[in-house]
Amino acid sequence: MLSSITAFFERHIRLNSTRIILFSFFLVILAGTLLLMLPVSGASGEGTDILTALFTATTSTCVTGLVVVDTFSHWSLFGQFIILLLIQAGGLGVITIYSVGILLLHRRSSFSMNILIHDYFNLDSLSGIISFLKKVVVGTLIVEGTGAIFYAFVFVPKFGLGKGLWTSLFTAVSAFCNAGIDTIGIDSLCAFHGNVLVNLVTTALVVLGGLGYVVWFDVVNAVKKTWSSKSGLSTVWNRLGEHSKLVITLTVFLLLSGTIGIFLIERNNPLTIGNFSLPDKLLASLFQSMTFRTAGFATIPQQHLKPLSCLLGMLFMFIGGSPIGTAGGVKTVTFFILLINVASYIQGKEETILRGHRISHKMISKATAIITVSLLFNILFLAILLATGHYPILDACYEVFSATGTVGLSRALTPVLNSAGKITIIMAMFVGRVGPISMALFFSVMHKSSNNIHFAEGRFYIG
């Protein structure tokens, strides 16, 4: 079986890596759907209808977190286990898990498979691909395991040994993969809005997943070099690459600005944080700022957020996490590059400079394309959702941005979606996970057209 799959990849990898990545997610979703339809997957012992199973398999594999049925009550332990596997597959990446399977069987990774891994993670070099892959898997398991241990201090006393350990493991994997699905209850983590340990562990897992693996390994290497040279901790920052510095700076800025924004907007709202103590208000604001950017967990009811908070949230959902991580969105660096390019144009600069480094026109064009296509997809899915059902415009916008950003927050709209609405959100989650640009490339011609012909410059007017 595995050899036939390998042969299939070997024959087709040269055609288009993007198509392989798309089909791999599709096949996992299909397999998950079939397994979740089985009677053994339902808590009642009865089979689940295909649309509910498909929606759940998609939201799990695409690490989104929107659910049409309660995970803790509708699915059996077997069903929850399937969902957990889908979350892990979606978070790490189907290609990653497949490649690890090849290595575990003591088979060497071919050059074409290395190309596929390179394309999936959007790396800038083919060197050290297998080493990178191994570090991704080991690092993921260590972080998830550590998170589960910390969660156990809260969940085991509350739910008992068996359920407590399962809840700890499920929540840790879901948090790190930025899925936002839990087996705790109907209100997500609202019952733990004042629990410092649960809030901080969840925030740490989500942020670590959203930083991106490249930043992880850069920080680890910087710490090792600092330790071996017996330098001060202040030198760690200086040893980091420009990408890591930018990602960490943007992550901290967005996290803090979101916290301040939510606190100022919601501090007097009795339906969210208005009745909390000041420390709990700050803690809930921090958690909401974090979860906006692709986590999907909630410690306050999303349907009671003020419209301004929802607007802030949709912006954060659109931006998402950072490149080469488990988070969704257009990515922090992509959005920032577009902003500084606009600033450079306004200032009359011929080149876009960031921290003493020039941003290439190719990178600027890619950032512009990603953001433009993402916006168009959001508008398209929103139009379809509104055309096929009578939903409040704010709730519909929140739902669509949450789906395409693979966030998983909802203003209580997901459970009441009609069939057309569910199908729309399923497509939005899939597009959001595989990437709007990848989806666009999927329908493009396989061979790039030649750029050897230079045409005369046209006279067009804009603005």
Q: Which helix (H) or strand (E) holds 265?
A: helix 242-266
Counting beta carbons within 10 angstroms of the beta carbon of residue 375, is it exposed (0 to 12), middle (13 to 18) or buried (19 or more)? middle
Residues 47 and 132 in one domain: yes
Domain edge (last residue) among 186, 202, 237: 186
For residues 119 and 258, state if they share a domain.
Answer: no
Does residue 460 lie within any of the structural domains? Answer: no
Rounded Cα distance, 323 and 212, in Å? 6
Cα separation values, 158 from 94, 151, 304, 457, Å: 34, 11, 27, 69
Indicate whether 222 and 317 sit together in one domain.
Answer: yes
Contacts for 68 with CB less than 8 Å, ≥ 6 apart: 52, 55, 56, 414, 415, 417, 422
Do 221 and 149 share a domain, yes or no?
no
CA dist list (Å): 167 to 94, 170, 173, 185: 24, 5, 10, 11
Question: Is 264 inside any structural domain?
Answer: yes
pLDDT digit of tens for each residue in the chain (463 aa)? Answer: 444 544 554 454 444 566 777 788 888 999 999 999 999 999 999 999 999 999 999 999 998 989 999 998 999 999 999 999 999 988 877 666 666 665 655 556 555 566 656 555 555 555 566 777 788 888 889 999 999 999 999 999 999 999 999 999 999 999 998 888 999 988 889 999 999 999 999 999 999 888 878 888 888 888 888 888 877 777 888 888 888 898 999 999 999 999 999 999 999 999 999 999 999 999 999 999 999 988 889 999 999 999 999 999 999 999 998 887 777 888 998 999 999 999 998 988 888 887 777 888 888 888 898 899 999 999 999 999 999 999 999 999 999 999 999 999 999 999 999 999 999 999 999 998 887 656 555 555 444 555 567 677 766 766 6
Residues 54 and 166 in one domain: yes
Residue 61 CA to residue 65 CA, distance in Å, equals: 10
Instruction: Give the span between the Cα atoms of 199 and 358, in whole angstroms.
Output: 39
* Domain assignment of residue 99, yes or no: yes
pTM value is 0.87
In a domain, 319, yes or no: yes
Q: Is residue 231 part of a domain?
A: yes
Beta bridge partners of 42: 75
Q: How many angstroms separate the CA atoms of 172 and 25, rounded?
A: 22
| Amino acid occupying residue 180 | G
Number of Cβ atoms within 10 Å of the Cβ of 283 = 22
Q: Are residues 263 and 357 in the same domain?
A: yes
Q: Say if residue 424 is in the same domain as residue 382.
A: yes
Domain boundary among 170, 186, 202: 186
Residue 111: domain span: 1-186
**Do 342 and 258 have their domain in common?**
yes
pLDDT at 447: 44
Hey, what are 353's tokens? 């400079």
Model pLDDT, residue 362: 84
Judge if 12 and 154 occupy the same domain. Answer: yes
**Residue 207 forms part of a structural domain:** no
The answer to whether position 449 is within a domain reads no
Shared-domain flag, residues 241 and 381? yes
Q: Cβ distance 32 to 60 under 8 Å? A: yes
**177 and 276 both lie in a single domain:** no
Number of structural domains the chain divides into: 2
Same structural domain, 165 and 224: no
Q: How many CA atoms lie within 13 A of 154 on its CB side?
A: 22
459 located within any domain: no
At 353 the pLDDT is: 83
